[in-house]
Structure 1
Amino acid sequence: MNRRELVLLGSTGSIGTQCLDIVAKYPERIKVAALAAGGGNLQLLAEQAQAHRPREIAIYSGNKAELEKLLHEKGVVAKVSVGPEAVVAVASMLDENGIVLNGINGGVGLLPTLAALESGATLALANKESLVVGAPLVKKACVRPGQIIPVDSEHSAIAQCLLSGRHGKGLTVPEITGDTEVAHLVLTASGGPFRGKTRADLQNITAQQALQHPTWSMGPVVTINSSTLMNKGLELIEAHVLFDIAPKDIQAVIHPQSIVHSMVTFKDGATIAQASPPSMHLPIALSLSWPHRWDDIEPACVWDQPTAWTFEPVDNETFPALDLARHSVATSDTHPTVMNAANEVCVDSFLREKLPYLAIVDTVAEIVDAHEGLVNPTLDEILSVQDWAVTAATERVSKL
C-alpha cells in the first residue's frame, strides 16, 4: 500500500487528536503534510508538529510569533501561516493522491471543504456543517464520484452498510447510476444525558449537566448538540446530502448503548447494521483507508457474555430539533444554513449562561421561521445568509 499524504484540519480538536492516534500507529501508510487548528492551543499544536513533522502549519487566528517560537524550541521546521485564508490554502495543497480530513467544528469548515474538493484530494469529512450550510456548493465542488468519505460514526456506518446492496446515488459512491435498492436509512442516537426527560424536567438545566454525555467523549459544542438532539438533526441533513436519500426516508431512533452506529433497510426487507464499541478511532481510520480496513484499530464487540441492545422512538415533543431539521431542509436551500448558524450562537450563549437550555432550539426555530429562503444560492449568498442568521440570533438572545 502506497503511503498517502494527509492534511489534517482541526488537529487540536477531538477528531484531530484521535486521527493523529491512528497516524502514529500506521506511519508507513500516512504522512502528515500539514496541520491546521483554530489557534487556541498552540502548545498542543507544537507538540503535534514535533511528533509528525508537517511541512506546513496554519492557524485560524492567534499569535504567529508565539507558535514559531514553540516550534523552534522543539526543532520543528515548517511554514507557518495565520488566518482563515491560510486554513483554506493548506486544505487545497494536495492532489488526487492525498487526503484532507476536515475535523473543523462549525460553519467555518465550509470554505476548506470546498477547497479540498476542488483540489481533487479525497475528503474525509467530519465537518457535517459543510453539508448543512452549503450542500449545493459542495456538490458542485466535487471533481469525481466518491470523493467524500464520511467520518461521523453514523454516516461511516451507513456507507459500510450500503456495500451490502446496490446504491448508485449520492456523494460517497464511486459510480453514479441513479439506481438504489435502499428503502430507508436509520440513524441511531444515544439520547444524550436527558433521555426520558420531559420539557418540564429540563427547565433549569445547566451547562455542566448538559456536558455529561453518557457514552461519547466529544467537544463542548457537539456534546450540547447531542443533548438537544440538534446533532441528530444536522446528521439527518448530512445523510440526505451524502447519500441522496429523501429526508422522509431517514428515520432516527434512540439506542442508548451506542453500539449500533446506524442501519440501512433495503427494499427486500433486510436491515443491515454496523456495530462496534463507541469510539471514533474506527470511522476515522476507515476514512483514511477506505475501502480497505487496517488491523487492530479498536477492540470488537464481545459475544461470550450476556448483552442487550435497546431501541426506542425519539420524543419529538421534548426534543423538537429533528422536526426542525426536516422542516428546514424541505423549505429552501438556505434554511439549513440559518438553522446551523443560529444554533452555533445559541449553544455558545448557553455555555456562557446567557440563554436557558430549552431556549436553544426554540430560539433557533424562531430565526429559521423568519428566513425567506434562497434557491441554488451562490457562495456569497450563503455567507450573507450565515451573517444574517448570526446577527438575528445574537439580537434575539440579547432580549431574553
Structure 2
Amino acid sequence: MKNIAIIGSTGSIGTQALDVINHLPGRFRVVALAAGRQVEVLAEQALRHRPLLLSVADEARAAELRRLLAQREDGYRPEIVWGEDGLERVATHPESELVLTAVVGAIGVRPTLAAIEAGKDIALANKETLVAAGELVMAAVRRCGVRIVPVDSEHSAIFQCLGGSDADRVRRILLTASGGPFRGWKDLSGVTPEQALRHPRWSMGAKVTIDSATLMNKALEMIEARWLFGVPMSKIEVVVHPQSILHSAVEFCDGSIIAQLGPTDMRLPIQYALCYPERWEGCTAPLDLAALGSLTFERPDEETFPSLRYAREAVAAGGTMPAVMNAANEVAVGRFLKGEIPFTGIFAVVAGVMARHEVVPRPDLDAILAADRWARSAARQQVVSA
C-alpha cells in the first residue's frame, strides 16, 4: 500500500485522483489532503478517506471544517491547519511516500520544493512549479534522490515514450495541443469568457481552460518539458491535434517516432503517476481506434496565438523571466474572467509585463517569489486598450 498526500484535492485533478484511488481499493492510503476554499467538499473527502492531516486556505475555513467534522459521532478528528504553512505541512507529512501536487499556479512552488527536500516522490500536476523554478526544483530532485512523475497528459505521454532513454538520443519532442475552442479563428476581439470556457475536448478548471484557449497552457508545458526531460527549447515542437487522442510523441535520433495514445480522460495519466512504476487495471474505457477513423495534425497559428513565442522568449531571457511570464498570465486570466480586459488583452498584459521586467539571473527561491509578486502587481496595473 502506498501512502499519498494530495495538494489541491478539491480541484479537477485532485477529485479525479481520488476517483482513481477509489477504483483501486487497498492500493493506496490517503494520509493528508490540502484544499483551498471548498470546505464542504474537503469534509466529504476526509470522511471517506480518513486522512490524518487536512489543510485549507485560512483560519476561518479551518474553523468551518472543524465544525463540519465535529458533527460526526465516530471519533474521527484529524489535525486541521491552514495557509501556506498548512500546504507545506501536507507536503511534508512524515507518513506520505508520494505527494500529488495538483494546485493551479505558482502557489505550488514552495510546497513542492518542501516535499522534495523531505524526500518525497512527486506526482506533478502543477506545471507552474517548473515554469517558475525549474532549475531549483530539478537540482533539488537530483540532490535528494527523489522522482518526479508528470501528471499532465502530454508530459505523461513523453515520459512513457522516453522509457528511460537519454536526452541526447532525442531529436524532437512533439507536444500535442487540442487547439482549444478558437482553432482556426483569426479575429479574437469579441471572445467572451463563456465562449473561452467551452473547451471542445477536456473538462478542466477555469484557469487551465482559458490557458488552453490562448495556447498559454502549451507555452507553459514547453517550459515544463524543457526541465523535466533535459532538452533545449529548440527540440520542443507543438503540434495541433484536435482529437486529443495522441497525447504527445518523441522522435529519436534514428528517425523513429514513438507516440502514446489514450482516451481523453485525465484519470489515465493520473493513475499512471500514482501507480508508477507498475501498471494496474485502469478505470477508463478502452480506446476504439477503428471507431475514431482518422487523426489529424496541423501547425499552431502563432500570429493569432503568440503565447508559444512568449515561452521561447522567456526561456531565452532566463532567470526570473519565466516566473514573470507565468505570474502575469495568471493575473491577466483573472482580469479577463472578471470582464476587466478583452480576451486579446491577456496577450497584451503578458507581453507588456515581460517587456518591463529586469531579469535576475540564476535566482534563488526568494528572488523568484519576489519576481512573481512584482509581475502580479505590474499585470494588475497594465493598461489594455479595448
Contact 1:9–1:100 (8 Å) recurs in 2: yes
Local SS of the residue matching 1:63: helix
CA deviations 1:190-218 (Å, max 9, x no partner) are 000000000x2x11110000000000000
Which SS does the other structure have where 2:291 is aligned? coil
Contact persistence 1:136–1:333 (CA under 8 A): no
Structure 1, unmatched stretches of 5+, are: 170-179
Distance of aligned partners of 1:399 and 1:86 in 2 relative to their CA distance in 1, 3 Å threshold: farther
2:108 is matched with 109
Which amino acid is 1:67 matched to?
L
After the TM superposition, which of the residue ranges 303-312 and 345-354 deviates more from structure 2? 303-312
- The structural deviation recorded for 1:379 is 1.2
Give the corresponding residue for 1:91: 91
Could you tell me how far apart the structure 1 residues matched to 2:385 and 2:248 are?
Answer: 40
Which residue of 23, 27, 42 maps to 2:21?
Answer: 23
CA contact (8 A) 2:138 2:228 kept: no
Give the equivalent residue in structure 2 for 1:119: 118
Query: Which runs of at least 4 in structure 1 moved beyond 3 Å after TM superposition?
Result: 143-146, 303-306, 397-400
What's the CA shift for 1:136? Answer: 2.1
Q: Distance in 2 between matches of 1:132 and 1:126?
A: 12
* Matched residue, 2:32: 34
1:213-236 deviations in whole A, cap 9, x for unaligned?
A: 000000000000000000000000
Superposed CA deviations along residues 66-88 of structure 1, whole A, max 9, x for unmatched, are: 11011122443200011111111
What is the aligned counterpart of 1:186 among 174, 177, 191? 174
Residue type matched to 1:114 in 2?
A: L
- The 1:397–1:55 alpha-carbon spacing in structure 2 relative to 1, beyond 3 Å, is farther
Q: CA deviation at 1:303?
A: 3.5
**1:50 match:** 47
Structure 2 distance, partners of 1:59, 1:268, is: 50
Cα 1:307–1:183 change in 2 (3 A) is same
- CA contact 1:102–1:125 (8 Å) conserved in 2: yes
Specify whether residues 196 and 121 from structure 1 end up closer, same or farther in structure 2 by C-alpha distance, changes over 3 A only.
Answer: same
Work out the CA distance in 1 between the residues paired with 2:383 and 2:107. 21
Deviations 1:99-125 (A, max 9, x none): 000001100100011011011111000
* Other-structure match for 2:136: 137
Q: What is the match of residue 173 of structure 1?
A: none
Q: Which moved more, 1:20-29 or 1:137-146?
A: 137-146
Q: Does 1:371 align with 2:357?
A: yes
Q: Are the counterparts in 1 of residues 349 and 384 from structure 2 also a CA contact under 8 Å?
A: no
Q: Is the 8 A contact 2:348 2:384 kept in 1?
A: no
Identity of aligned residues (%): 46
Q: Give, in whole Å, the separation in 1 of the partners of 2:282 and 2:156.
A: 18
CA distance in 1, matches of 2:300, 2:289: 28
Q: CA deviation at 1:144?
A: 4.3
Match of 2:229 in 1: 243
For 1:365 and 1:188, the matched residues in 2 are separated by: 24
1:176 — aligned with what? Answer: none
- Residue 151 of structure 1 corresponds to 151
| 1:166 alignment partner in structure 2 | 165
- What is the aligned-residue RMSD (CA, Å)? 1.5
Matched with 1:294 is: 280
Higher mean C-alpha displacement, 153-162 vs 56-65? 56-65
Describe the shift of the 1:70–1:252 C-alpha distance in structure 2 as closer, same or farther (beyond 3 A): same
Do the aligned partners of 1:19 and 1:281 also contact (CA within 8 Å) in 2? yes
Deviations 1:280-317 (A, max 9, x none): 10110111111211103312211443511000000000
TM-score (normalised: structure 1): 0.93
| Residue of structure 2 in register with 1:175 after alignment | none
Which one of 12, 23, 41 corresponds to residue 14 of structure 1? 12
Give the AA of the match of 1:155: H
Displacement after TM superposition at 1:145 (Å): 4.8
The C-alpha deviation readout for 1:1-55, integer Å capped at 9, x for no partner, is xx011000000000000000011112311100000011x2111100000110000
Counterpart CA distance in 2 for 1:398 and 1:271 is 43
Task: Give me the whole-angstrom Cα distance separating, in 1, the residues matched to 2:269 and 2:354.
Answer: 32
The answer on whether the counterparts of 2:199 and 2:209 sit within 8 Å (CA) in structure 1 is yes
Gaps of 5+ in 2: none
Structure 2 equivalent of residue 210 of structure 1 = 196
SS at match of 1:305: helix
The amino acid that maps onto 2:87 is: V
Q: Match of 1:32, SS?
A: strand
CA 1:306 to 1:242, structure 2 compared with 1: closer, same or farther past 3 Å? closer
Q: Find out whether 1:283 has 2:269 as its counterpart.
A: yes
State how far apart, in whole Å, the 2-side matches of 1:205 and 1:150 are. Answer: 32
Contact 1:136 1:377 in 2 (8 A): no
**Matches of 2:165 and 2:147 in 1, distance apart?**
18
Cα distance in structure 2, aligned partners of 1:224 and 1:82:
28
| TM-score, normalised with respect to structure 2 | 0.96
How far, CA to CA, are the matches of 2:198 and 2:316 in structure 1?
32
- Residues in 1 aligned to 2:238 and 2:137: alpha-carbon distance in whole angstroms: 24
Corresponding residue for residue 71 of structure 1: 69
Letter in 1 for 2:56: I
Pick from 251, 258, 262: which aligns with 2:244? 258
CA distance in 2, matches of 1:196, 1:304: 27
SS at match of 1:124: strand
Tell me the matched-pair count. 382
Q: C-alpha separation between the residues in 2 aligned to 1:377 and 1:188?
A: 31
